[in-house]
Amino acid sequence: MNVACSSATFGLKTAADFIGSGSVKAVLMVNPEICSAHLNFRDRDSHFIFGDVATAVIVEAADQATGGWDILGTRLKTVFSNNIRNNFGFLNRAARDDVTAIADGPRPDGITDKLFVQQGRKVFKDVVPMVSEMIVDHARDLAIDPTALKRLWLHQANINMNEMIGKRVLGREPAPGENVIILDDYANTSSAGSIIAFHLHNEGFAPGDTGLICSFGAGYSAGSVFVRKRA
């Protein structure tokens, strides 16, 4: 599944749908992210804080799961944009047949466009309202009060972006621990970021407490997964 930073939430929805249909009883979802391979280290706007990591999640049918979390609902959204993308990255970087086909002339490293590319300010302006509105709309459809969520585990790309989304979803400045930030330790690990945040910071939940796993990024793509602590 190749939906960049949203792969984890897209994968969770796919797993939940398989189980909901009765076709399987358990799914192992793995998110390997080798971000270093597709970075253009000559471009200050794109190489900044990426890290390499992998995460894994097991999703099971409710009748066989013990403890853990219930998935209350999943939602996906895509909006076409070239402002943040990866055109296969390192998978085709060695192909040099189109080096001279670029309008502004050949580039010394082949095709820069084969690596990760983003227009950061445009992405920020577009993605923050898109994701915030998606979360609030999804919560309303599930009869969940977004301002009462105990914790947000958001995609870890930009602290300012996460803080603004958290403020819009909760309707106030998030209190310490409500909007998890792990960028200082793990950097941007693409689709794995929200899962790392969830894994490291899911303590303190009583049965019935609700939280949100949400990832967003290239494409644009976004996914929200509301979860509730089981008894």
Q: At 52, which amino acid appears?
A: D
Q: Which of 135, 145, 138, 143 is nearest to 194 (CA)?
A: 135
Q: Is position 128 within any domain?
A: yes
Q: What is the DSSP string of 186-226?
A: H-B-GGGHHHHHHHHS-TTPPTT-EEEEEEEETTTEEEEEE
Q: Is position 97 within any domain?
A: no
Tokens describing residue 173: 């400045």
- Domain extent at residue 149: 4-83+119-229
155-159: average pLDDT: 92
Q: Which of 72, 51, 99 is nearest to 225 (CA)?
A: 72
> Which 3 state secondary structure label does DSSP give 55?
strand
Q: Is position 107 within any domain?
A: no
Confidence check: pLDDT of 29 > 60:
yes
Give catalytic residue positions: 5
Q: Is position 112 within any domain?
A: no
Confidence check: pLDDT of 40 > 90:
no
Q: Is position 25 within any domain?
A: yes
Please give the pLDDT value at position 93. 66
Cα distances (Å, whole numbers) of residue 77 to 10, 13, 17: 9, 12, 16
Instruction: Name which of 36-50, 92-106, 205-219 the model is least confident about.
Output: 92-106
What span, in angstroms and rounded, lies between the C-alpha atoms of 147 and 126?
23
Sign of CA dihedral 47, 118, 32, 193: positive
Tokens 């609902």 — which residue? 73
Which tops the pLDDT comparison, 119 or 26? 26
Q: Is position 40 within any domain?
A: yes
Confidence check: pLDDT of 102 > 60:
no
Task: Specify the DSSP element, H or E, that contains 161.
Answer: helix 159-170
116-128: average pLDDT: 91
What span, in angstroms and rounded, lies between the C-alpha atoms of 11 and 27?
10
How large a percentage of the chain has pLDDT more than 90? 68
CATH code at 193? 3.40.47.10
Per-residue burial over 193-214, b = 16 or more CB atoms within 10 Å of its CB, e = otherwise:
bbbbbbeeebeebeeebbbbbb
10-39: average pLDDT: 93
What confidence tier does 111 reach under pLDDT thresholds 50, 70, 90?
low
Q: Is position 67 within any domain?
A: yes
Mean pLDDT is highest, among 37-41, 93-97, 117-121, for 117-121
Q: Is position 160 within any domain?
A: yes
Please give the pLDDT value at position 91. 67
- The count of other CB atoms within 10 Å of the CB of residue 83 is 18
30-41: average pLDDT: 86
Residue 135 phi, psi dihedral angles, 5° rounding: -65, -50
Contacts of 11 (CB under 8 A, 6+ apart): 1, 29, 31, 57, 191
Q: How many domains does the chain have?
A: 1
Confidence check: pLDDT of 107 > 60:
no
Q: Which of 130, 128, 46, 117 is nearest to 83 (CA)?
A: 117
What confidence tier does 101 reach under pLDDT thresholds 50, 70, 90?
very low
Taking only the tens place, the pLDDT of each residue in 129-149 is 999 999 999 999 999 999 999
Residue 131 C-alpha from the chain's centroid: 11
Instruction: Name which of 93-97, 162-166, 177-181 the model is least confident about.
Output: 93-97
